[in-house]
Amino acid sequence: MESAVSKTIPSYLLEEITKAITSKDYGSVEIYIESGKIVQITERTIRKTTTKFSSDIRFGSNKK
């Protein structure tokens, strides 16, 4: 088995990962690995809301 130290990540993948991370204010970047190789980079973006809801509002409830 090859050690993690002896493996290198190609520069184009490092650039893609760096771009994905630096383009996010909120969210996540997932890196998928198969057989020791990066096969997928998934980006999720989270949009934070600024709306203030009243504490008595319940979504999915018939109560008012």
Domain tally, the chain: 1
- CA–CA separation, 26 and 18 (whole Å): 15
For residue 23, being part of any structural domain is answered with yes
pTM: 0.60
Residue-wise pLDDT tens digits, 1-47:
555 545 788 999 999 999 999 998 889 999 999 998 999 999 998 88
* Mean pLDDT of the 41-64 span: 73
Strand 27-34 vs strand 37-45: parallel, antiparallel, or unpaired? antiparallel
The DSSP call for residue 55 is T
Domain residue limits at 27: 11-45
> Which helix H or strand E contains 42, and what residues bound it?
strand 37-45
Query: What's the pLDDT at 58?
Result: 66
The answer to whether position 52 is within a domain reads no
Residue 1 lies in a domain: no
Flag whether 31 is in a domain. yes
